[in-house]
Structure 1
Amino acid sequence: MNQQLHIVIAEDDEDDRFIIEESFRRNSQFTTIHLVKNGRELLDYLHAPEKPKPDVILTDINMPIMDGIQALKAICKDKELNDIPTFVYSTTVNPVYQMKCRELGTKGYLTKPTALEDFNKIPEQIISIMEDVSTS
């Protein structure tokens, strides 16, 4: 996959937002990176007519105002948005959340790394999963 990708990332933690943004900036395939702080801001961004539709969505689960699961439910029901590949990343390793995310069509459930350098693997994991999906 050698295309330029536009990703929207929903993350409420300021430190994690900085780290994950830097991880995607280091990967040359992600050329447009937009960050929001919760699921409500994610949906507002996705519905804004002046904003380009992203190629990928990455969301945390536990966020204030609207969590990632609620946002994924809204995306899944929206005919304009439900074809965008969605990914979840969370510190929560909860089989119930993982199953719910699969039911909502997420392409991957990624565990937030504890080591700073491991955040750089997240863009690579997303690209790898998207390549697997597009060739199957």
Structure 2
Amino acid sequence: MHVSLNVVLAEDDKDYQEIFNNALTEVNIPTKLTVVSDGVELMQTLQSPESPAYNIVVLDINMPKKDGIECLKEIRKDKNLSSTFSVILTSSQDTVMKQTAYDAGANLFLTKPEDFDEYVETVRKILTSDWQLKLPIFF
């Protein structure tokens, strides 16, 4: 039996999708990553009966169709998703936006690092945060 995290990344920038995936490989924590490109696709994925239960949702703030803050609010209102560990990973360093994200229900707000090694450490922080008190997914 293998323990693996189910993580969904909501990021519209293809380069950041690739960087996140590469950093995930470097962290070397068993993870099944699902990538979506906009907020509408994220919510459809999270609410689909065919989707696994996700341990972690990583959201960019600026996404097409529905931004990360709107998604967070929906996640927190959905009884099946409300306790999902949700992380904002954005290029914004705006303190007002940070507070807005926490007010919307973010468990963690992180700024995307420019250096790959720092990005690896950011992904490690996401995967090893306090959410681990929740049960992992077994397959």
Give the TM-score normalised by the residue count of structure 2: 0.87
- Aligned residue in 1 for 2:78: 78
CA distance in 2, matches of 1:73, 1:8: 17
The answer on whether the counterparts of 2:73 and 2:105 sit within 8 Å (CA) in structure 1 is no
Which amino acid letter does the alignment assign opposite residue 118 of structure 1? E
The answer on whether the counterparts of 2:23 and 2:116 sit within 8 Å (CA) in structure 1 is no
CA distance in 2, matches of 1:34, 1:6: 8
Quote the RMSD (CA, aligned, Å).
1.6
Please give the secondary structure, in 2, of the residue aligned with 1:75.
helix
Moved over 6 A (4+): none
Please give the secondary structure, in 2, of the residue aligned with 1:23.
helix
My pick for the range that moved more, 112-121 or 60-69, is 112-121
The answer on whether the counterparts of 2:55 and 2:84 sit within 8 Å (CA) in structure 1 is yes
Give the TM-score normalised by the residue count of structure 1: 0.88
CA distance in 2, matches of 1:79, 1:23: 31
Alignment of 1:97-136 (within 5 A): 97-130=97-130, 134=133
The answer on whether the counterparts of 1:7 and 1:30 sit within 8 Å (CA) in structure 2 is no
Please give the secondary structure, in 2, of the residue aligned with 1:26.
helix
| Alignment partner of 1:15 is 2:15 | yes
1:34-75 per-position Cα deviation (integer Å, ceiling 9, x unaligned): 100011111010011111011000000011111111111111
Question: Percent identity among equivalent residues?
Answer: 30
CA distance in 1, matches of 2:28, 2:94: 32
The answer on whether the counterparts of 1:6 and 1:30 sit within 8 Å (CA) in structure 2 is no
The answer on whether the counterparts of 1:87 and 1:110 sit within 8 Å (CA) in structure 2 is yes
Unaligned runs of 5+ in 1: none
- Aligned residue in 2 for 1:5: 5
- Aligned residue in 2 for 1:60: 60
Which amino acid letter does the alignment assign opposite residue 105 of structure 1? G
Please give the secondary structure, in 2, of the residue aligned with 1:4.
strand
1:95-135 per-position Cα deviation (integer Å, ceiling 9, x unaligned): 1211111112211100001112321112211134326x84x
The answer on whether the counterparts of 1:107 and 1:129 sit within 8 Å (CA) in structure 2 is no
Higher-RCO chain (CA-CA 8 Å, sequence separation at least 6): 2
CA distance in 2, matches of 1:122, 1:11: 16
CA distance in 2, matches of 1:56, 1:31: 10
